[in-house]
Amino acid sequence: AQSVTQLDSQVPVFEEAPVELRCNYSSSVSVYLFWYVQYPNQGLQLLLKYLSGSTLVESINGFEAEFNKSQTSFHLRKPSVHISDTAEYFCAVSEGYSTLTFGKGTMLLVSP
């Protein structure tokens, strides 16, 4: 069975500071990896995904994540955060094109 661990339930940072949200997974087979973002009172939005190819994937709003197979990690990073990045971020893993297993989420709190 697969599982996802997001060690940090909350990450407070100041605006324009860099941030890293950690995600580790366990699986016995090859996986696909995803990051979702949930703004208050909204659904989850797909932020970025790793299916194959380059291990570094980027989103359109400046986030990036790197798939590290040896460390079974898929950490999310942004070099400079904005107030508008305040949201909950979920890491997810799937074995093929079926169900996703989600982590418990990390709340990113950006303050001025």
Instruction: Provide, rounded to whole angstroms, the least separation between the CB of residue 38 and another protein.
Output: 9
Considering only CA atoms, which of 82, 85, 92, 79 is closest in space to residue 35?
Answer: 92
Residue 19 or 91 with smaller CB distance to another protein? 91
Q: Which residues does 56 contact at the CB level (< 8 Å), separation at least 6?
A: 64, 65, 66, 67
Which of 1, 29, 30, 43 touches another protein (CB under 8 A)? 43
Q: Which residues bind another protein (CB under 8 A)?
A: 32, 34, 36, 42-46, 49, 51, 90, 97-100, 102, 104-105
